[in-house]
């Protein structure tokens, strides 16, 4: 029992932000007269913020290694868009081959920046600031300052497509595929959790007490049900939603359940101690940035597809959105603390604020101001509450 | 009130869930050296923080009377204005500023807001002479050793017309010479009328310089001893600190020593800062199964450097020499490979290099041996938790659960987490670098017991320590190192404190101590 109490205490920040998110959503739901949580708006919220989710995942890994950030992601997003446009539109190459190619370019960008940061030990801030300038420059150079478009239908589908409703067909009121997927996901979750709990009890490992366990299941199933209902009431499951969902699941697993994931936390917590425990910290740092390059490419494809154009101005300030999402979601500015789910919550907080204020007709000047204050207050709350605890 | 410069009466200080001080009384006579001793967590630092205004008036209850006047300090500056200066263990100097600038920091010698550099350095030089530091006042503080930095701190205190000087563990990281000098300086200051409070774990020096000794235990005053009464020795103080007679400060063990487990020959290491300087010189040593081998020497003798260079070349350049494990030559090129070969090393500095303080106990214990609880890189968190639970109960790590953060543990319990981490790697050879530094007497005993248990299991332990009594207390054989060389070897039966010191001193005379 002691360990469950300690676990709650260690993650209190994340739960706090989750509760804050619920309150922010309730507030805007009331203030907008119910528009915020209309199914169409919920779907749009996901589509609009897809790039933040993807970038925040990669940024979390970088921040975990020791508060290192990547300022270049916005420019890399634009560069990848420009490359996609050049390949697909200008050179008329196949969509599949082009995607594979730009993902590879993302990887190479990651290797390039990762080398300077991890092996040459140039501060990440400087390397990626340089990257921010150079990749923006390359983008404008490649597009000659012009926007090119449109992309072929299949490329557009990545960000604006929906999984076709195979069960219900076109006319039904709800998208049955989305409902079925939700039900399957919920069932899978309940089953795997129950099996794990049984296994733990049989083998004498610590497990959640029954009421807490039931509450956890009910809450998760409730969220899945709500989400699938929302999606089903509009046009079904967006393609990009599956991409994001897969990434969140995969990277949550990586950070919480695997050896490399643990190395990220160990390095951010105390790099010297990590080295003396046999961890090749240079390699960990390198891989975090290689990964960031890859995910920037994924975000770049998503953004180009959504804009339906390759623009030299794409991706501006994206790095700041991603970094803010991580910090709002509880990541520590000195590394070693933070989770993927936290970053997603942080991104949602920002997304809901944006969206809610837009519906209310509040100008982007005020929006920026509010987001800035939220970032400052969230982190200040964190820092001050930690100091209190001491 | 000629008698007492300071009276702290019934001081009680509560932290959430903890009564850090309860009804503590402390009276310090004018012009004496008053030692404050107690185990870690006994409340010494808390009491001094109350005195210094770190915990402002109102956050504790009780009375604080300084020079016959009741004081209610709100900040550190309030107490400093009255002439109370506390020098903490972590020195408060700015490394890149000069000695002179540091001494007059926040107290600048200036005219009309412009710093008078001539006066700054002239005054600083006078203060340095007073504390016996032969360094230029323009030297950057970072270029001085810890001992000299300590003296700069004292000079800084003197510049503020200090009446009561508090030193928290001033000699903890000093070598013998620097310690001697510092204690001598305290006696000088006493002759000049400065009263001091000395917090120290080194009871030998306490007995040597203190006029009276106040013992704290579990946040309460136990007693105040007067050294003038004559019959005060270390054992008497320890009895007060732990509340019982320590019949034996070291647990017993019947050594069952086997064949050679680990051996190095002609080991040489050069400094990474100046690659021409040899730090370890032709060192050879052997460890046998079930044996605890001590490595004694002064600070800077090269013991840590030797150990770290063995441990995957974590220190030094141009490392050469041969290493043998169970008679077969081994390469110890990376930390990972060294651990896999069965050689582990627990660093002397657990906070900056041993632990992830923001990680929990469980993460810290398994980090060097994650492969043992993982399959194809996926961690089995149940098995991992079980391992951590086992260590927590076996090594008696006092904590709320395995999910408590390592940074929230006391020094002794942190050290047990470090030991767990390395025991979990299942080493045949375990190098422990100052494993009992800065932890209290009770926890030390437990650490010794763990070491004995490891030896009983047939493991070899290389025990590095600057405290000769504990080396003599637990080791089967002792190597003496000086200036990068192994200069002596004593079996347990022949080893005495005098013998080892003589061996070191003789080598110092012949070779000098790290001067070339």
The full DSSP string for B279-302 is: EEEEEEEEEETT-EEEEE--TTSS
Q: How many CB pairs under 8 A join A and B?
A: 99
Angle at B78 between CA B72 and CA B83, to 5 degrees: 105
pLDDT at B513 over 50: no
Question: B352 and A272: CB-CB below 8 Å?
Answer: yes
- CB-based contact A273 B374, cutoff 8 Å: no
The interaxial angle of helices A281-307 and A153-160, nearest 10 deg, is 110
Check residue B363 and give its pLDDT: 95
**pLDDT: which is higher, A176 or B440:** A176
Residues B250, B67 contacting (CB under 8 angstroms): no
Q: Is residue B442 part of a domain?
A: yes
Are residues B299 and B202 part of one domain? Answer: no
- Confirm whether B359 is domain-assigned: no
The DSSP output letter for B161 is T
With beta carbons under 8 A apart, name residues in chain A contacting B360.
6, 10
Q: What is the span of the domain harbouring residue B446?
A: 260-342+427-511
Residue B334 touches partner A, C-beta closer than 8 Å: yes
Contact state of B379 with A262 under an 8 Å Cβ cutoff: yes
Distance, CA of A115 to CA of A93 (rounded, Å): 31
Would you give the DSSP letter of residue B367?
G
Tell whether B206 and B271 lie within a shared domain: no
Contact at CB, B379 and A272, closer than 8 angstroms = no
Is the minimum CB–CB distance between B333 and chain A shorter than 8 Å? no
Query: Which residues in chain B touch residue A260, judged by CB atoms under 8 angstroms apart?
Result: 377
The reply to whether A386 touches chain B by the CB within 8 Å rule is no
pLDDT one-digit tens code per residue, B83-123: 999 998 777 899 899 999 999 998 889 888 899 999 999 99
Confidence band of B458 (pLDDT split at 50, 70, 90):
very high
Domain shared by B81 and B227, yes or no:
yes
pLDDT-based confidence at residue A390 (cuts at 50, 70, 90): very low
Is the same domain home to B60 and B167? Answer: yes
Residue B247: predicted pLDDT: 58
For residue range B118-147, list pLDDT tens digits in order. 999 999 999 999 888 888 999 999 888 878
Contact across the interface for A272 and B378, Cβ inside 8 Å: no
Q: What is the CATH number of the domain that holds B469?
A: 3.40.50.300
Same-domain status, B186 and B273: no
Alpha-helical runs (H) found in A258-334: 259-269, 271-275, 281-307, 318-328
Residue B264 shares a structural domain with residue B237: no
Q: Are residues B192 and B322 in the same domain?
A: no
B202, part of any domain: yes
pLDDT at B2 over 80: no
Please judge whether A206 and B385 are an interchain contact, meaning their C-beta atoms are less than 8 angstroms apart: yes
- Give first-to-last CA distance, chain B, whole Å: 55
Chain B contacts in chain A segment 301-340 (CB below 8 A): 332, 336-337
Q: Which of residues 198-217 of A touch B (CB under 8 A)?
A: 199-200, 203, 205-206
Mean pLDDT score across all residues of chain B: 88
The residues that bridge with B481 in the sheet, in sequence order, are B486
In a domain, B251, yes or no: no
Q: Among A211-215, B278-282, B419-423, B499-503, whose mean pLDDT is lowest? A: B499-503
Task: Give the span between the Cα atoms of B474 and B459, in whole angstroms.
Answer: 15
The whole-model pTM stands at: 0.82
Q: Give the model confidence (pLDDT) of A53-107 as tens digits.
A: 999 999 999 999 998 999 999 999 999 999 999 999 999 999 999 999 999 999 9
**For chain A, domain boundaries:** 14-27+34-161+238-385, 167-237
Q: Is the pLDDT of residue A334 over 60?
A: yes
Q: What total of structural domains would you count in chain B?
A: 2
Q: Is residue B194 part of a domain?
A: yes
* Cβ pair A322, A73 in contact under 8 A: yes
- Chain B environment of A3 (Cβ under 8 Å): 385, 401-403
B363 touches chain A (CB under 8 A): yes
Cis peptide before A150 (omega within 30 of 0): yes
My answer on whether B337 and B204 are in the same domain is no
Average pLDDT (B420-448) is 90
Which range among A141-145, B54-58, B438-442 has the greatest average pLDDT?
A: A141-145
Residues B312 and B444 in one domain: yes
Q: What is the pLDDT of residues A109-130, one digit of tens each?
A: 999 999 999 999 999 999 999 9
pLDDT at B515: 39
**pLDDT, tens digit (0-9, with 9 covering 90-100), for A32-46:** 999 998 989 999 998
Residue B401 lies in a domain: no
More confident residue, B398 or A247: A247
* pLDDT surpassing 80 at residue B512: no
pLDDT at B18: 63
Show which of B179, B214, B242 is a domain's final residue.
B242
Q: Which of A200, A257, A274 sits opposite B379 (nearest CB)?
A: A257
Contact (CB<8Å) A279/B405: no
Task: Of A24, A30, A53, give the one whose Cα is nearest residue A353.
Answer: A24
Average pLDDT over all residues of chain A: 91
Which contiguous run of DSSP H or E holds residue A57? Answer: helix A50-64
Residue A367: is it exposed, middle or buried by C-beta count within 10 angstroms (0-12/13-18/19+)? middle
Report the gap between the CA of B119 and the closest CA in chain A (Å).
Answer: 40
Asked if B186 and B318 sit in the same domain, the reply is: no
B105 & B234 share domain: yes
Which residues make Cβ contacts (< 8 Å) with residue B303, sequence separation at least 6?
B295, B297, B433, B464, B481
pLDDT score recorded for residue B350 = 87
Q: Where residue B1 falls among pLDDT bands split at 50, 70, 90? A: very low
A274 and chain B in contact, CB less than 8 A: yes
Same domain, B71 and B114: yes
Mean of pLDDT values over A144-161: 92
Could you tell me which CATH class the domain A14-27+34-161+238-385 is placed in? mainly alpha
């Amino acid at each position: 029992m002691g360990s469950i109490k300690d676990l709650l205490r260690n993650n209190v920040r994340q739960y706090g932000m989750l509760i804050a998110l619920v309150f922010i959503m309730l507030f805007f739901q009331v203030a907008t007269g119910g528009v915020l949580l209309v199914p169409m708006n919920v779907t749009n919220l996901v589509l609009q913020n897809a790039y933040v989710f993807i970038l925040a995942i990669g940024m979390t890994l970088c921040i975990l290694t020791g508060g290192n950030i990547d300022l270049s992601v916005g420019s890399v997003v634009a560069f990848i868009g420009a490359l996609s446009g050049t390949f697909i539109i200008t050179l008329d190459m196949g969509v599949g081959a082009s995607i594979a190619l730009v993902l590879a370019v993302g990887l190479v960008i990651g290797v390039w920046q990762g080398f300077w940061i991890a092996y040459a030990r140039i501060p990440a801030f400087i390397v990626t600031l340089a990257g921010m300038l150079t990749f923006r420059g390359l983008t404008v150079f490649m597009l000659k300052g012009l926007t090119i478009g449109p992309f072929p239908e299949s490329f557009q589908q990545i960000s604006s497509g929906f999984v076709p409703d195979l069960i219900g067909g076109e006319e039904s009121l709800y998208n049955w595929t989305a409902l079925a997927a939700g039900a399957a996901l919920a069932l899978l979750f309940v089953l795997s959790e129950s099996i794990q709990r049984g296994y733990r009890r049989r083998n004498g490992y610590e497990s959640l007490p029954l009421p807490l366990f039931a509450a956890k299941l009910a809450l998760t199933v409730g969220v899945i049900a709500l989400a699938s209902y929302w999606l089903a009431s509009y046009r079904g499951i967006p393609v990009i939603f599956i991409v994001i969902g897969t990434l969140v699941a995969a990277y949550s697993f990586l950070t919480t359940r695997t050896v490399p994931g643990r190395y990220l936390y160990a390095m951010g917590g105390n790099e010297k101690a990590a080295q003396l425990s046999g961890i090749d910290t240079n390699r960990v740092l390198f891989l975090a940035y290689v990964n960031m390059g890859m995910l920037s490419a994924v975000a770049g494809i998503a953004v180009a597809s959504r804009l339906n154009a390759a623009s030299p101005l794409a991706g501006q300030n994206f790095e700041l959105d991603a970094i803010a999402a991580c910090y709002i979601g509880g990541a520590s500015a000195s590394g070693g603390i933070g989770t993927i789910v936290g970053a997603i919550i942080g991104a949602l907080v920002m997304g809901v604020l944006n969206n809610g204020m837009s519906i209310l007709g509040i100008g982007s000047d005020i929006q920026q101001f509010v987001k800035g204050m939220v970032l400052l207050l969230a982190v200040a709350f964190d820092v001050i509450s930690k100091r209190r605890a001491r | 009130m000629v008698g007492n410069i300071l009276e702290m009466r019934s001081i009680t200080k509560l932290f959430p869930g903890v009564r850090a001080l309860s009804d503590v009384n402390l009276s310090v006579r004018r012009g004496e050296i008053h030692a404050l001793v107690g185990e870690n967590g006994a409340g010494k630092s808390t009491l001094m923080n109350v005195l210094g205004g770190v915990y402002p008036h109102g956050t504790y209850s009780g009375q604080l009377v300084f020079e016959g006047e009741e004081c209610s300090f709100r900040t550190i500056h309030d107490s400093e204005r009255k002439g109370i200066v506390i020098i903490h263990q972590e020195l408060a100097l700015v490394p890149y500023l000069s000695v002179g600038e540091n001494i007059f920091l926040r107290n600048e010698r200036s005219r009309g807001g412009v710093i008078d550099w001539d006066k700054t350095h002239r005054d600083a030089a006078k203060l340095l002479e007073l504390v016996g530091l032969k360094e230029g006042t323009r030297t950057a503080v970072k270029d001085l050793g810890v001992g000299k930095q300590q003296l700069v701190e004292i000079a800084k205190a003197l510049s503020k017309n200090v009446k009561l000087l508090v030193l928290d563990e001033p000699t903890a990281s000093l070598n013998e010479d620097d310690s001697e000098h510092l204690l001598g300086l305290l006696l000088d200051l006493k002759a000049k009328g400065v009263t001091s409070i000395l917090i120290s774990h080194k009871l030998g020096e306490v007995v040597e310089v203190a006029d009276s000794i106040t013992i704290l235990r579990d946040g309460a005053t136990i007693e105040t001893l007067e050294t003038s009464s004559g019959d005060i020795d270390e054992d008497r103080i320890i009895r007060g600190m732990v509340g019982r007679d320590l019949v034996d400060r070291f647990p017993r063990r019947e050594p069952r020593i086997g064949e050679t487990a680990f051996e190095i020959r002609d080991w040489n290491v050069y400094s990474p800062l100046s690659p021409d300087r040899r730090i370890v010189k032709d060192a050879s040593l052997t460890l046998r199964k079930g044996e605890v081998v001590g490595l004694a020497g002064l600070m800077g003798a090269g013991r840590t450097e030797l150990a770290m260079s063995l441990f995957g070349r974590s220190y030094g350049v141009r490392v050469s020499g041969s290493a043998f494990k169970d008679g077969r030559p081994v390469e110890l090129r990376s930390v990972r490979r060294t651990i896999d070969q069965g050689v582990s090393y627990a660093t002397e500095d657990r906070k900056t290099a041993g632990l992830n303080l923001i990680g929990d106990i469980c993460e810290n214990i398994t980090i060097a041996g994650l492969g043992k609880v993982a399959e194809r890189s996926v961690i089995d968190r149940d098995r991992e938790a079980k391992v951590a639970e086992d260590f927590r109960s076996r090594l008696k790590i006092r904590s709320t659960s395995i999910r408590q953060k390592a940074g929230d543990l006391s020094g002794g319990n942190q050290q047990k987490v470090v030991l767990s981490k390395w025991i979990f790697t299942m080493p045949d050879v375990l190098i422990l670098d100052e494993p009992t530094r800065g932890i209290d007497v009770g926890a030390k005993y437990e650490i010794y017991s763990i070491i004995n248990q490891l030896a009983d299991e047939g493991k070899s332990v290389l025990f590095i320590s600057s405290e000769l009594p504990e080396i003599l207390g637990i080791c089967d054989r002792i190597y003496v190192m000086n200036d990068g060389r192994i200069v002596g070897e004593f079996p347990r039966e022949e080893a005495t404190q005098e013998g080892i010191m003589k061996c070191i001193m003789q080598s110092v005379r012949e070779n000098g101590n790290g001067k070339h």
